[in-house]
A and B are shown apart, each in its own frame.
Chain A
Amino acid sequence: MNEHYFAALREILAQGLPVTIEVSIAAMLIAIAGGLVLGVLRALRNPVLDTVIIAYVEILRGIPLLVLMFFVFFGLPQLGFHFAEVPSAIIALGLWGAANGTEIVRGAIFSISAGQSEAGAALGLNWLQVMVHVILPQALRRMIPPFMSLFVATVESSSLAALIGVKDIVEIVRLRVENDPALWIPLLVSILFLYFFINYPISVASQKLEKRLA
């Protein structure tokens, strides 16, 4: 069992871990970019835009992430859009993250007191200048902790990609134990530590950033 275990562990670290990290970081970049754009658009308080964005956020947050992944990987090809396993996982996780990111950005922007934008407007700044120079610099600090939590959740949720065949940490464990069920416990304990070593630095970085920006 020892050599099987170490072979499996090597494969997890050399092949599974990079895939998990790639999927998580790519999805997180989509979440941040999408969240910033949609969250700032919400601050325009345009009724039509608001309706569209709220619908997007509520639908994406209202369905299980796994269903979303199945939809992108198995459903979209039937509509003529074909994506491989890894891009499908990134798209699903990214769209889900962007919905959560929108709420993070919107919440942070609206938590800045109305007096701030009033003062900016009274100084002759236009809407965009008020957003860029007055609101966002203050709101960004408040976005860091929830975005870090979202990052942790994204890393954890990326394991669902195993179910559409992405060879991430979890999928490699599953393939290895099929041949050797005795590896279940040693491998599960190993990846438990592995996920912890990915996520713990994110939490620590979040706390440090929060302190520095406070």
Chain B
Amino acid sequence: MAMITMSHVRKAFGSNEVLKDISLAVDPGEVCCIIGPSGSGKSTVLRCINRLVPIDGGEVVVDGLSVTDPKVKDVDLRRRVGMVFQQFNLFPHMTALQNVTLSPRKVRGLGAAEADELAMRLLAKVGLKEKAPQYPAQLSGGQQQRVAIARALAMEPKVMLFDEATSALDPEITGEVLAVMRDLAAEHTTMICVTHEMGFAREVGTHLVFMDGGVIVEEGEPRAIFDNPQAQRTKAFLSKVL
């Protein structure tokens, strides 16, 4: 069964139709990369999955929970979905460790010692164990984003969403964040990545989605699409970015 199923999802902000009839299925262990020009609705697709944005029509089911079902609580949905943002959005008044332990303690109800242990394990996983007592302002952009990944993983989610996780970083430091994402993919973490990193989408992705103007223009096996795009719009886009 698919981990995430979107069927005929529609979303408009005022008169601006951002998503027009989006249908997409992501299986457990898949790394689904969404590419496309700015304003094509890629980020909104991610935000519909954890209800940060309520949808206007259609249906999204996450691990058996429907986002349109009023009986499904926000917290139950969001515990299953980790999210990493373009601007990191770390909490500046908390240390790296406190950023990571907040959700385990307040949402999952872990004790302080247990949460600290989990957080240290995750910070070690992203290579930042020694940065645990530092504040975000003391960390580089790449380090901040790796803390943000550890923070999302601390919910022990079923799926990880990456919203242009490397777009705010200098080119020479995107590598350290992509390396962490590669590790997660190698562990068969279910991931949906909105990205401009075509190399990552091609090599790590198992499923590629090309969006433009609020619709999915083309989707399938990444290498097949990169090497032999079918739609005219996909060809035009790839010829510009590759």
Stretch of B80-88, B176-184, B202-210 contacting A (4+ beta carbons < 8 Å):
B80-88
Contacts of A126 in B (CB 8 A): 74-75
Say if the beta carbon of B93 comes within 8 Å of chain A.
yes
In chain B, what residue has the closest Cβ to A135? B91
Say if the beta carbon of B102 comes within 8 Å of chain A.
yes
Say if the beta carbon of A80 comes within 8 Å of chain B.
no
Say if the beta carbon of A122 comes within 8 Å of chain B.
yes
In chain A, what residue has the closest Cβ to B154? A123
Q: Do B91 and A119 touch across chains, with their CB atoms under 8 A apart?
A: yes
Q: Do B92 and A122 touch across chains, with their CB atoms under 8 A apart?
A: no
Say if the beta carbon of A125 comes within 8 Å of chain B.
yes
Partner of B89, one of A119, A124, A125: A119
Interface size class of B (residues with CB under 8 A): 20 to 34
Contacts of A15 in B (CB 8 A): none
Contacts of A133 in B (CB 8 A): 91, 102, 106
> Number of A residues whose C-beta is below 8 Å from B?
17
Q: Do A121 and B74 touch across chains, with their CB atoms under 8 A apart?
A: yes
Query: Least Cβ distance of B181 to chain A in Å?
Result: 17
In chain B, what residue has the closest Cβ to A141? B93
Q: Do A124 and B92 touch across chains, with their CB atoms under 8 A apart?
A: no
Q: Do A115 and B89 touch across chains, with their CB atoms under 8 A apart?
A: yes
The complex places the Cα of A137 from the Cα of B95 at a distance, in Å, of: 13
Which residues of B pack against A, CB within 8 Å?
Answer: 50, 52, 74-75, 78-79, 81-83, 85, 87, 89-93, 102-103, 106-108, 148, 151-152, 155
A-B contacts, 16 listed (Cβ < 8 Å): A118-B52, A119-B83, A119-B89, A119-B90, A121-B78, A122-B78, A122-B81, A122-B82, A123-B102, A123-B103, A125-B102, A125-B103, A133-B91, A133-B106, A138-B91, A138-B93
Which 7 pairs show the lowest CB-CB distances between chains A and B? A119-B89, A124-B107, A123-B103, A122-B83, A124-B78, A115-B89, A137-B93
Instruction: Contacts A122-B83, A123-B107 known; list 5 others, CB within 8 Å.
Output: A122-B52, A122-B82, A123-B102, A124-B79, A125-B102
